Structure 1
Amino acid sequence: MSVEHPIVTVTGSSGAGTSFVKRAVEKIFARENLNVAIVEGDSYHKYSRVDMREKVAESKANDGPVLTHFSEKANLFNELEALFKEYKENGTGKRRYYIHSDEEAVEHNGRLGTDLAPGEFTPWEPIPEGTDILFYEGLHGMVKRMDHGPEEGMHNVAQYVDLGIGVAPSINIEWMQKIYRDTSERPYSVQQVRDVILERMPDYIETIVPQFHRTHINFHRVPLIDTSDPFSTMSEDAPMGPAPEDSLIICHVRHQDINLEQIKDKIPGAFLQNPETLVCNGSHMVTAMDLMMSPIIHNLIEKKRAAMAKLNG
């Protein structure tokens, strides 16, 4: 695999906390002074917001499996794989943006001279030349799946990834975080969110979960308080799951650049459950992420610079 154009992905389902890990990775990028090509997983969905609602309604009306954003049938795995392949080979590729809000619509319409609304996609654009690293955050950064059927072939996105980070909290925490977000930031009830979680469960098992055995690091958050009923009626001040200090972080590592024994000694109260698994209190989550991801990203960039210097003579 080419070292000139490294790719880092953060993968997890809706409510898992991938955005939190994304912020931690971006701080490392800033510290390394990197020019980063950002790729948002939502931008590789197949349907706009309006079209997706229609497709979901059709799937329900036909009594078939409910179409969800977790499924390969609702995503452009072929385009995502093509992007990763092109970036690894040439440091470029095409991307687009999914517009989530009115603010994003104003930003992209002003930049592109378009008249797009929230829930729509921007046109495909080439990634600018000269970026140091590609960073993907979303549902399918380590996916390896059949797309629709054998006639369309296997899509193996994971084969191009240099550092894959999985975010897989205890399922009840994941549900609590999704309920909190969708009821506080979006116009949904707890019952509506519960229905979506149930509808997505087959695709979660088939498409999301298998990615976590392909990642290089998995962060798994486990509660230390009662989270046995995440669907209970929420009060106005309901928390977004347990506070950091009320949880443990299970860090499972499959990467040669990480020395867990050394990292353990830098985190108060941390211990090794086995040679590949470090456990620490959730209040040290940011520190653990930084200590594990920083040396990998640093080494990726050093290898890139050495390869480029050799190429340039």
Structure 2
Amino acid sequence: MSSKHPIISVTGSSGAGTTTVKSTFDQIFRREGVTAVSIEGDAFHRYDRMAMKAELDARKASGDETFSHFSYDANILDRLEEVFRTYGETGKGVTRHYVHDEDEAARYGAAPGSFTDWEPFEDGSDLLFYEGLHGAVVNDEVNLARHADLKIGVVPVINLEWIQKTHRDRASRGYTTEAVTDTILRRMHAYVHCICPQFIETDVNFQRVPVVDTSDPFIARWIPTADESLVVIRFKNPHGIDFPYLTSMIHDSWMSRANSIVIPGGKLDLAMQLIFTPMIDRLVRDAKRT
């Protein structure tokens, strides 16, 4: 952690909804006049698309059916930790972009499935914002959680997560349902061992729970809407959280445990604005005092 150069880390698996959370944070940053440097977890994959396919084929040939982007060794987590550490100490760092599709290729000037060059952060930022798969990893080799001042988990119930991933990958990446299903199955081991343990480290978790039938996520024709969902918000340390204020401001919300509040799905953006605006203001204010 760094009082002078704070770091916010949003972590969740593919299809969890971390990108939506980033949009809300971008709104808060604009409104509060906060200058944030944003980095993506995909930038710290170890392999580009072609190299990853070759590595997957080699792993399968050796009998390993569990290797995926979720796996620790599919990512350069030591490099990510170094970026966190360097930013916390100096306010500087480097990042790159993983180019997913033709639209991003036109934006970044690199082929789909490749990485852009590493480039330094712009000077003068108030904080670093990370969004991706591995923002709170703690294992024998790295401890990313200790560097982040605010850690947020985005964790839909798993059937909903699979529905969201299936629809996204079919619509934006041209994958078949069968291909997405194979990816989900291959990632399950790392999901259990690499993704889930991070939610012990996070300060606030958001878990969206649909209130419609999602029994078979692989044939679902549409993603449950926000109004067809509830969101459970869990605080690791509820000390200082004004639950009466939150329940009064968020209509139809209630406390389910001493550290948890349940809200209608359509109120997620409002809830994040209410919860995180004062936290961000405090981080930036304390940084400027240092």
Short-chain TM bin: over 0.9
In structure 1, the partner of 2:152 is 165
Deviation at 1:107, TM superposition (A): 2.7
| Deviations, residues 80-121 of structure 1 (Å, cap 9, x unaligned) | 000000000000012111112223223323xxxxxx311111
How many Å separate the matches in 2 of 1:35 and 1:290? 17
Residue 112 of structure 1 is matched in structure 2 by: none
1:138 aligns with 2:136: no
The answer on whether the counterparts of 2:66 and 2:189 sit within 8 Å (CA) in structure 1 is no
Distance 1:117 1:243 in 2: 34
Q: Please name the residue that 1:226 is paired with.
A: 213
> 1:196-226: CA deviations, max 9, x gaps?
1011000000000000111111000111111
Code of the residue aligned with 2:281 in structure 1: it is H
For 1:217, the equivalent position in structure 2 comes to 204
Higher mean alpha-carbon deviation, 134-143 vs 99-108, is at 99-108
The match for 2:228 is 246
Whichever residue aligns with residue 123 of structure 2, its letter is E
Give the Å deviation of 1:67.
Answer: 1.8
Report deviation, 1:145.
2.2
Conserved? CA contact 1:81–1:157, under 8 Å: yes
Matches of 2:89 and 2:207, distance apart in 1: 33
User: Which residue of the other structure, out of 168, 171, 192, is the alignment partner of 1:181?
Assistant: 168
Give the aligned partner of residue 30 of structure 2: 30
Contact 2:6–2:127 (CA under 8 A) maintained in structure 1? yes
Alpha-carbon distance between aligned partners in 2 of 1:95 and 1:29, rounded to the nearest angstrom: 20
Whole-angstrom distance in 2 between the partners of 1:261 and 1:83? 38
SS at structure 2 position matched to 1:14? coil
Work out the CA distance in 2 between the residues paired with 1:107 and 1:193. 26
Match of 2:142 in 1: 155
Cα root mean square deviation, aligned: 1.3
CA contact (8 A) 1:7 1:134 kept: yes
**Identical columns (%):** 41
- 1:311 aligned partner: none
1:289 corresponding residue in structure 2: 272
Of the two, which has the highest radius of gyration? 1
Code of the aligned partner of 2:228: D
CA distance in 2, matches of 1:187, 1:103: 14
The question of whether the paired residues in 2 share the 8 Å contact of 1:221 and 1:249 is answered with yes
Letter in 2 for 1:252: R
* TM-score (ref. length: structure 2): 0.96
User: TM-score when scaled to structure 1?
Assistant: 0.89
Look up the equivalent residue of 1:43 and give its one-letter code: A
Distance in 2 (alpha carbons) for counterparts of 1:12 and 1:211:
9
Alpha-carbon contact 1:72-1:145 (below 8 Å) kept: no
Matched residue, 1:126 = 120
The answer to whether 1:195 aligns with 2:177 is: no
The within-5 A match list for 1:11-50 is: 11-50=11-50
**1:35–1:131 CA contact under 8 A, matched in 2:** yes
Structure 1's unaligned 5+ residue stretches are 110-115, 147-153, 308-313
Tell me whether 1:6 sits opposite 2:10 in the alignment: no
**Residues 83 and 93, structure 2, Cα contact 8 Å, conserved in 1:** yes
| Amino acid corresponding to residue 268 of structure 2 in structure 1 | M
Contact 1:10 1:141 in 2 (8 A): yes
Measured in 1, the distance between the counterparts of 2:127 and 2:14 equals 25
Give the letter aligned to residue 11 of structure 1.
T
AA matched with 1:172:
N
- SS of the aligned residue for 2:160 comes to helix
Q: How much has 1:257 moved relative to structure 2?
A: 4.9
- Cα distance in 1 for partners of 2:105, 2:123 equals 25
How many residue pairs are counted as aligned between the two chains? Answer: 289
Structure 2 CA distance for aligned equivalents of residues 94 and 277 of structure 1: 36
1:304 aligns with 2:287: yes
Runs of 4+ in 1 over 6 A off after TM superposition: none
Unpaired runs of 5+ in structure 2? none
